[in-house]
Structure 1
Amino acid sequence: MATASTIAIAALAITALLNRHLSKKAERDNPPSGRFVEVDGVRLHYLERGTGDVIVLLHGNGSMAQDFESSGLVDLAAKEFRVIAFDRPGFGHSNRPHGKVWTPDVQADLIAHVLAELGISKAIVLGHSWGASVAAAMGIKHPALVRALVLASGYYYPTLRLDAIASLAPALPLVGDILSHTVSPLFNRAIWPMALRKIFGPQPVPEKFGAFPKEMALRPSQIRASSEEAAMMVPDAFAMRGQYADLKMPVVIVAGDQDRLIDIEAQSARLHSAVQHSSLHRIRENGHMIQQTATDQVMSAIREAASGSASRAAAE
């Protein structure tokens, strides 16, 4: 028994050292390409392009600003707007201080404070997936700041989620630290192709997604942040479910009609019914990653939000 325990501990230690090496290599191979701002004890990395009215881009769980950059959305939007794409806390090159539960409300406050630091008093805010919850929280808590919302592939109402249940242990203190530094990166690396098929399906993974820094997403720190957000998904939706009617600005809701991760009728369509100043666009034959596979349609949603023309119509 003692020998088996010693072998197991040694194996975990070796795995932790390997993951640390791969994490450092990923950061060397993918240095920050944007700027940093420190607010409320958080050092956030962001990309900034273009001039004009401001649009803020907030990525989903497990991702980073390079998702929007690799999709081409940053450059496309920068032709018409001043684009600011954040690495949310714990993702990309942004840190995620311990001792705080990083709910959508908390992250909304942080982004609002950062925008004030940058001298921005009004912005269109686009959030994808988990980022849509942060964007919605910004609209609820900081309505004077948010000119319009674009909510893409979001999860807004609580449902039974087995993936959220599976994330409970990796999100726990100590247990989560051990897992994220040992077996979780190896496991996530093994299932990466399957995970991509699910989130991109029914569309194939586009070649441009090859520019996304996969190894950055497989670092222990980012896996830990991702586990925490997955575990919070259902309770956060429960807490926010009755507040969406408070959104008074134009809201453009967009989702792939074949999303394999989120039921868009139970989420996006229901949100459209709850928000008076909203429009809903179902993108045909697309899944969860519409910013990658339907970039032009997402750009059209941004233009609609900017024009303030969101209506009660549910567009196809």
Structure 2
Amino acid sequence: MSTSAATRPPVTRVPLSDAMLPPVDMSTPPWPGRDETVGGVTLHVRRTPGPADADTTAVYVHGLGGSATNWTDLAGQLAGHVPGVALDLPGFGHTEPPPGFDYTIPAHADVVARYIRGLGVGPVHLFGNSMGGAISVLVAARHPELVRDLVLVSPAMPDLRPWLSRISDPRLPLAYLPLVGTFVRRRLAAEDTQVRVMRLLRLCFAEPDRIPLSRREEAAREIVEREAMAWANPALARSTVGLIRSWLVPPSRSLWTLTPRIDVPTLVVWGTEDKLVTVRKAPRTAELLPRGRLLVLPRTGHVAQMERPATVARATLGMWEQVAAGTW
């Protein structure tokens, strides 16, 4: 971890709960999904049951190219403590985008905020991964009354340094750029589905060979399903552009400027082997959050909630326990 993180003990002291958690079984299928219209927006969501006396809800927001199924195992780990709702953002998973949706980060954040407000359950535990982390930061900064605490897994904070060298296949980022993207996507789509699945796993996981066959088969099915959705590729391409544009806004509107305004307990989780959002941004992200702490996981890639769900769950419960004790 960087020197700056070492000089800020609150950033590095992340408690791991001793609470009993169910074993992680990656053969468990995704939680059932359904379309819901809440707060004036219609999303496909996957709900996780929780205790009858739970006083709040966890809301999970996936990253670029992801879906609600990215939270299957973490939501299962936390189901004994809190009910959960994993969202398919507009244009992703099974959520058809509304006409005229512009796929900017503010537009996605507005959808999430409207959905949370419509739930009527008070402030929620908000989880976000990658682009979903950037969206969650914006929601927490603009709508603090909706968020009880945050868990940010490799949030896509602004980073304008060249990053193609971190990608094993340079065609992947090119696939979602204007003009050249259409040609590249067609070339990639012509490849065998299993080849595409393994490329995705190598990109997102530090140890892709440890991902069980059941999860690889789920990923393959999602790829095939999305190919049948006319809006899927345009949504992915335009959300990619929207994310990059969010990094180019004036400093007054940058996520780096908004982050210090978030005064809720926040756990920042990053994998040392993240190929998509460099772990070098982790200490700065946690340090800028007034109540932020950082957990850096070795041998972990871009989706720690999928690769290390038990560890992320224990850190999350540790945060909740310390918040309840007034020590976070």
Scaled to the shorter chain, the TM-score interval is: 0.7 to 0.9
| Match in the other structure for 1:284 | 298
| Match in the other structure for 1:186 | 190
| Match in the other structure for 2:314 | 300
| Match in the other structure for 1:65 | 68
Please state which structure has a larger fraction of its residues in helix. 1
Query: Aligned to 2:223, which of 197, 209, 217?
Result: 217
Per the TM alignment, residue 185 of structure 1 is displaced from its structure 2 partner at its CA by 2.8
Q: For 1:226 and 1:161, locate their aligned partners in 2 and report how far apart those are by CA, in whole Å.
A: 19
Q: For 1:225 and 1:139, locate their aligned partners in 2 and report how far apart those are by CA, in whole Å.
A: 24
TM-score by length of 1: 0.76
Q: Does 1:242 align with 2:257?
A: yes
| Match in the other structure for 1:263 | 278
Q: For 2:189 and 2:215, locate their aligned partners in 1 and report how far apart those are by CA, in whole Å.
A: 20
Sort the Cα spacing of 1:187 and 1:120 in 2 relative to 1 into closer, same or farther, 3 A.
farther
| Match in the other structure for 1:233 | 243
| Aligned partner of residue 224 in structure 1, secondary structure | helix
| Match in the other structure for 1:201 | 206
Q: For 1:179 and 1:106, locate their aligned partners in 2 and report how far apart those are by CA, in whole Å.
A: 27
Q: Does 1:35 align with 2:34?
A: yes
Question: Does the 8 Å contact 1:209/1:292 carry over to 2?
Answer: no
Per the TM alignment, residue 184 of structure 1 is displaced from its structure 2 partner at its CA by 5.0
Q: For 2:198 and 2:219, locate their aligned partners in 1 and report how far apart those are by CA, in whole Å.
A: 14
Sort the Cα spacing of 1:177 and 1:121 in 2 relative to 1 into closer, same or farther, 3 A.
farther
Q: For 2:285 and 2:192, locate their aligned partners in 1 and report how far apart those are by CA, in whole Å.
A: 32
Question: Does the 8 Å contact 2:39/2:116 carry over to 1?
Answer: no
Gaps of 5+ in 1: 1-29, 311-316
**AA aligned opposite 1:65:** A
Question: Does the 8 Å contact 2:103/2:235 carry over to 1?
Answer: no
Per the TM alignment, residue 105 of structure 1 is displaced from its structure 2 partner at its CA by 1.9
Sort the Cα spacing of 1:137 and 1:59 in 2 relative to 1 into closer, same or farther, 3 A.
same
Deviation digits for residues 42-65 of structure 1 (CA, Å, limit 9, x no counterpart): 520111122322111111111111
| Aligned partner of residue 156 in structure 2, secondary structure | coil
Sort the Cα spacing of 1:188 and 1:246 in 2 relative to 1 into closer, same or farther, 3 A.
farther
Sort the Cα spacing of 1:40 and 1:114 in 2 relative to 1 into closer, same or farther, 3 A.
closer
Per the TM alignment, residue 251 of structure 1 is displaced from its structure 2 partner at its CA by 0.9
| Greater Cα offset, 207-216 or 52-61 | 207-216
| Greater Cα offset, 164-173 or 198-207 | 164-173
Question: Does the 8 Å contact 1:46/1:84 carry over to 2?
Answer: yes
| Greater Cα offset, 301-310 or 40-49 | 301-310
Q: How high is the sequence identity, in percent, across the aligned residues? A: 24
RMSD (CA atoms): 3.1
Corresponding pairs, count: 277
Question: Does the 8 Å contact 1:177/1:224 carry over to 2?
Answer: no
Per the TM alignment, residue 111 of structure 1 is displaced from its structure 2 partner at its CA by 1.4
Per the TM alignment, residue 188 of structure 1 is displaced from its structure 2 partner at its CA by 8.5
Sort the Cα spacing of 1:75 and 1:170 in 2 relative to 1 into closer, same or farther, 3 A.
closer
**AA aligned opposite 2:259:** Y
The equivalences for 1:95-110 within 5 A come to 95-110=96-111
| Match in the other structure for 1:116 | 117
| Aligned partner of residue 260 in structure 2, secondary structure | helix
| Aligned partner of residue 151 in structure 2, secondary structure | strand
Q: For 2:146 and 2:102, locate their aligned partners in 1 and report how far apart those are by CA, in whole Å.
A: 23
Q: For 1:38 and 1:176, locate their aligned partners in 2 and report how far apart those are by CA, in whole Å.
A: 33
Sort the Cα spacing of 1:303 and 1:211 in 2 relative to 1 into closer, same or farther, 3 A.
farther
| Match in the other structure for 1:44 | 43
Q: For 2:30 and 2:297, locate their aligned partners in 1 and report how far apart those are by CA, in whole Å.
A: 34
Sort the Cα spacing of 1:74 and 1:31 in 2 relative to 1 into closer, same or farther, 3 A.
closer
Question: Does the 8 Å contact 1:42/1:96 carry over to 2?
Answer: no
Gaps of 5+ in 2: 1-28, 249-253
Deviation digits for residues 249-302 of structure 1 (CA, Å, limit 9, x no counterpart): 11100011222222111x222111211210000012211121122111111232
TM-score by length of 2: 0.74
Per the TM alignment, residue 32 of structure 1 is displaced from its structure 2 partner at its CA by 9.4
Q: For 2:182 and 2:44, locate their aligned partners in 1 and report how far apart those are by CA, in whole Å.
A: 23
Q: For 2:138 and 2:192, locate their aligned partners in 1 and report how far apart those are by CA, in whole Å.
A: 29
| Match in the other structure for 1:147 | 148
**AA aligned opposite 2:309:** T
